[in-house]
Each structure stands twice: as C-alpha cells, then as structure tokens.
A = this chain, B = another copy of it.
Amino acid sequence: MLLQTDYDHENRQMCPGPAERSRADARRAQILAAAVDCFRQHGFHGASIAQISKAAGMSPGHIYHYFENKEAIISAIVAGDLERFLILTSEIRSACNVREAMLDRVAEGIDQCLDHQTAGLKLEIVAEASRNPHVAEIVRSADKVCRESLMLTMRDMRRAAGHEDDDATLAAMVEVFVSMFEGLQIRTIRNPGIDRSVVIPLFQHSLRALLDQTP
C-alpha cells in the first residue's frame, strides 16, 4: 500500500481480483522481482538499470514508465519488505496463547534470518538506510510500527504471567528480542556454516529468560 502512486486509471471494470489487477501492476511487480534479484547479487548501487531491465525482459527506458527513478525502485522494495513484516507480527499477535505462539515460531523466524539471500538483501537495505535519508525514513517509520505491535504483544504476555512493566522496560525487551534475530542475519553472512539445529534450542532458552525475567 505504501508508495503506490495512484495510477489506477479506471481499474478494469471493478475486478480487483487475482493479485495483479491491471497490466501496469503486473509490469511493476515484474520489475520489482527482477530488481530484487539484481540488488541481491550486486547491491543497490552495483546493479544497473540495464541489468534490471534485462532481467525483467524489457527495455531500460520502459522501466521509467513505472518508476520515477532508481531510488523509487529501492523504496518500493523496502516498503514491500516491511509490509510483509507487519503481516507477520499481526499474525503472531492474533494467536490465542501469544507466548507459546511466539516461542513456537522462533524456529521459523530463525530459518528466515539464516536464509542467505534474504539476509543479504535485508543488510543491503539497512546499510542503505544508514546513509540515504529517504530510505532511512521508510525503514524507521515501519520499524516503529513493528516495535509498537511487539510491545503490545509483550505487555499482554507479561500481564498474563503476573508482571506489570513500564513502557521503557517493554521497549527494551523488544529491542533485545529483535536484536537477536536481526543479529542472525549478520551471522549467516559471516559464518555460513552455522548449525541451525543447535542454535534453535539455545535461542529459545535465551528468549524464555528474556520474556520471563523478574525485574
């Protein structure tokens, strides 16, 4: 939803149907998929429009019908990435036993962080955010939403266990919680031989200690 220039031009007689409503949206998705591929392989600045256009099966010039410039493609990818993350957190939040749902899904989260391709692009995005103010703003505002969602989740979880924490403590819990996962993205680059099956139980142990801590 973010960053989608309203471009609907009457929208094909009311059928928002099958994920790709208009030809324009299909082309847009096609470009984004190709760009993700290229950015993974060469980085934001290493990948050229020529490469992306070749991967997307169209001419370089044609890309500019759908995106204002290269940075707009980057922004769209970042926005899509974070939209997906928001969906994940809202899924966790809607589970009946949130604490167990969280711990159960740790393995899934770890596997996602350990995926080399995914991790590479995520790191590329953060590195870009550390110097590109426009990307930084997208990343930070979405991160804020994610943190707030996680804070609410944790407050419920802690209340159910009889703890009442102030906001600062909850925020810190969220930071440490997220740190561990995001750190794994770096780990998988620096040590591709990491053994997931041994890391998972340790991870769960540490998370339990974090979530159950008494101040």
Contacts and interface: CB of A to CB of B under 8 A. Distances in A.
Interface of A: 40-43, 45-46, 116, 119-120, 123-124, 126-131, 136, 139-140, 143-144, 147, 168-169, 171-173, 175-176, 178-187, 189-192, 194-195, 198-199, 202-203, 205-206, 208-210, 213
Given A169-B202, A179-B183, 13 more contacts: A41-B131, A46-B131, A123-B123, A126-B189, A143-B190, A173-B202, A175-B187, A175-B191, A178-B187, A180-B180, A182-B183, A182-B186, A205-B210
Contact of A40 (B45, B131, B210): B131
Contacts of A143: 190-191
Identical chains in the assembly: 2
Nearest to A147: B191
A198 B168 contact: yes
A138 to B, nearest CB: 11
25 contacts: A43-B127, A43-B131, A45-B45, A46-B131, A120-B131, A123-B186, A124-B127, A126-B186, A129-B189, A129-B190, A144-B191, A168-B195, A169-B202, A171-B195, A172-B199, A172-B202, A175-B187, A176-B202, A176-B203, A179-B183, A182-B183, A183-B184, A183-B186, A205-B210, A205-B213
Chain A contact residues: helix, strand, loop or mixed: helix
Given A123-B130, A130-B116, A209 B205 contact: yes
Give the 3 A-B CB pairs with smallest separation, nearest first.
A183-B183, A209-B209, A179-B183
Contacts of A42: 131
The residue among A42, A187, A203 with the most chain B CB atoms within 10 A of its own CB is: A187
B206 A210 contact: yes
Nearest to A211: B206
The residue among A45, A172, A185, A203 with the most chain B CB atoms within 10 A of its own CB is: A172
Given A43-B127, A127-B124, A195-B171, A176 B182 contact: no
